[in-house]
Structure formats: C-alpha cells, structure tokens
Amino acid sequence: DGGMPLGEGANGMVQRLPDKNATAASPNLWGITARQCKTLLEEARAEGELPPDADMKAFVSRVVVPRTQGTGLGYALFANRDLPREVGTLVLHGGESKAAELLEVLWRSSVGADETFFMNALSLYLAEDGVGPSIASQLACGGAAALEEPSPEAPLAEEVRSVLDAVPQECASHSGRAAEFALSAVQARVQADWCKRAVCSALAPMPVVLAGCAVLIMYGHIIAWGCVPSPDFSKCGVRVQVEDLTWSKSAVWEWQKQWEDDRSMLSEGVQAAQRYLYVAASIAATLSAILWLVLDRCWPRGGRILVVPGPGRGKSSGEGLARFGLGEGAAHLVNTAHSLGIPIVMASGALVPLGLERRPLLCKPSRSTEAEAEPEVTDLKAVEEEAAAAILRRAAMRSRRMQSC
C-alpha cells in the first residue's frame, strides 16, 4: 500500500498521504518541528484566530481543524505531506494548558528548530468528517471509543468542541494508541543515537571549561597582581595616577618592579612557558567556540519525553500526576518510557511543583501498624500512577537544579 511503515496493530488509525498510491502513514510519522509550531502560532496570532487565553480545545477548533478539514491528515502530516517527519520527541502536557504558552514552551525547549514533536492536538486528525481516521480510533482511550457521530448540521467549531468534550482530558492531551505507537519511534531514535548522545554528553562541559581557562589566563594575573603582563610576561604594567601643579590628574603606565623580582625567582622553564600563555588563551577560546558550535549542530534531536506541567502547578497541591497537571493516562506512557531507558525531561522554563523532595515513592507501614492493618487489595492503577509521579518528581528536581545553576 506504499512505502510508509505501519506499526503492528496500527490499522484503523493511519493517515493517507495525497499521492497517487494514497500512501499510509502510521503515527511514527506524525511529527511536527519546533519551527513549524512557532510559525503556526505566529500565523494564528496575526490572523486573530487565537485569543491570548485560549486553551488547547479552542486552539484545535479555531486553528487546527479549519486548516486540515477534508484532508484526512493531522496538521503535522498535512504540513509535511511532501516529506513526512518521523517522531523524535513525545510531548506530555496538562489538559488545561494555554495553547500559546504551550507552543512557546516547546520552542524554548527544543534542541534545534528541526526537533520533531508528537502532540495529539497537532498530530491527530481531529476534524471528525469521515475523511480520515476518527478520534476514537486514534485515541482508543476510555470513553473515546464511545463517541457519537457529530451532527452534520452543527457548525464546525461547535462540532469539534463537542467531540473533544466527550474525550477524557488525559486522552485528549497526551495519551491513546497513537501516542503509544509514537513512543516506539522515540525509542528507536534513542537506540539509533546512543553513541552520538554518549559522546555529546561527555563533551558537553568542555566548552565551558575551555572558556573558563581562557578567561583565567587572560585575567588571572590582572586580578592577582593588579597589573597587565606584557606579551612575553617579562614585565607587568600598572597605571599610576600623577598630579601636576595645576591640580589635575593624569594616568601613566609603569613597569611593576615587584613583578620582575618575583619572576626572576622562577625557573627558566616556567619563564619560557609564560611566553605562550596569551597564545594558549586564544587557542582555548577558539576551541571553546568551535566545540560549542559542533555540539549545537550534532546534539541528538529528539529521543526523549518532554513534560510540560499544567498551569498553576507551581504549588505543592494535588496528588500523584495531578501535581503536574497530567491525567491518569500519562502514567502508562511515563512508566513505559522509563523502563525503555527513554530520557524524561521537564520543558525549559516550565513551572514545576514545590516540595517534591519530601514525597517518597511508596510509604511502607511500620511493623507494628503492618501487623495490625487489615489486608487490602492492591490498587495497581494507583501504584502505577504513583510510580510515574515519582519519575516525574526526579525529572523536576533535575530541572530545578539546572535552572538554579
């Protein structure tokens, strides 16, 4: 049916490209770049389609669906219909997120403008017009399977909003079958880029180290001695204020005698090495800039889960995933990604909950209370959600430490 790969069990939720073979594209090809997200936001603002406080449902009904209706393609595949982009990063976000804020956070958090995201609002086909896969088949999550057919007489915006209102919030924002297939593409990206990621991670501190060495060489003697060494470090100039008979002050440069006396006590090898310190500083600064550019170009794009906590989650309120503004549907994806070794990171500048370090994963009762307690049936769903919340807490604390640095 075409050259695009289909995931096992992906039948019923493929989107078909507008070529002569109606090539089927499965969810692993429903990616959209960070640059395209930013461009879409700018277009929507310029055309007055997106109010500043619009949520994701309003964003879908006002911006996404009018652009994709009748095509059978989600906006991501519609924008890349000539060359579909494989998913590199799976986005988990709060169901109450503001559309403009979310897209701006994705842009700030991207590793390069060409990093490809999977996000239900932009990756799924949401028009519900019978041309492409239905929301129910793409999500297959809870009540989504029981959605009623939209009324053909209903206006487009109202029709789409009524359909989205029938979908559980956690499914509409980040879960469902399509997201699980996209997760397999993220895992493949991690496996393909493991060597590049290891090398880049090991070299990541080097630009800062080299730049620090260059600054230390250039300004260390100035700070320590209060004078500026000559190119060969044989002398060190200091500026002296001189007063004349007109009571005006002028500055003149003099060679510091103490520097020459102290330098004469050094070995000839050290004195010879000092002649090349400025050259070494220049080389260190140049290598730092080159290495920074190389890492910026070669750093793996994608291969991670990007979490954008919901609004108002900076306070330590709520339990489990609710502390991050995420629904229960995210627990399975988070735990699966963690077990597969896929990095889970918080978005840059995202507001993360406080008091995370004081919350244990699972509290075990003491022996005395354990003996007195009545046996209870283990709530596997609650355990899975708390395990996912613990993974996100560790990711949030890493993000907070990096922001504080």
pLDDT digit string (tens) for 96-129?
Answer: 788 898 999 999 888 888 899 999 889 999 888 8
127: tokens are 């028009």
The lowest-confidence range among 78-92, 282-296, 342-356, 379-393 is 342-356
Q: For the chain, what percent of residues have pLDDT higher than 70?
A: 74
pLDDT digit string (tens) for 183-239?
Answer: 888 988 888 888 888 898 899 899 999 999 999 988 888 888 888 888 888 888 888
201: tokens are 């991670």
How large is the average pLDDT for residues 125-152?
A: 65
Evaluate if pTM is beyond 0.85.
no
Orientation of helix 99-109 relative to helix 34-46, angle to 10°: 150
- Asked if 229 contacts 236 with a C-beta cutoff of 8 angstroms, the reply is yes
**194 phi and psi angles, rounded to 5 deg:** -65, -40
169 pLDDT higher than 60: no
Could you tell me the sign of the dihedral formed by the alpha carbons of 185, 181, 353, 166, in that order?
positive
- Asked if 182 contacts 120 with a C-beta cutoff of 8 angstroms, the reply is no
137 pLDDT higher than 50: yes
Beta-ladder partners of 237: 228, 255
150: tokens are 């939209």
- Asked if 86 contacts 28 with a C-beta cutoff of 8 angstroms, the reply is yes
End-to-end alpha carbon distance in the chain: 52
94 pLDDT higher than 70: yes
Fill in the amino acid letter for 158. E
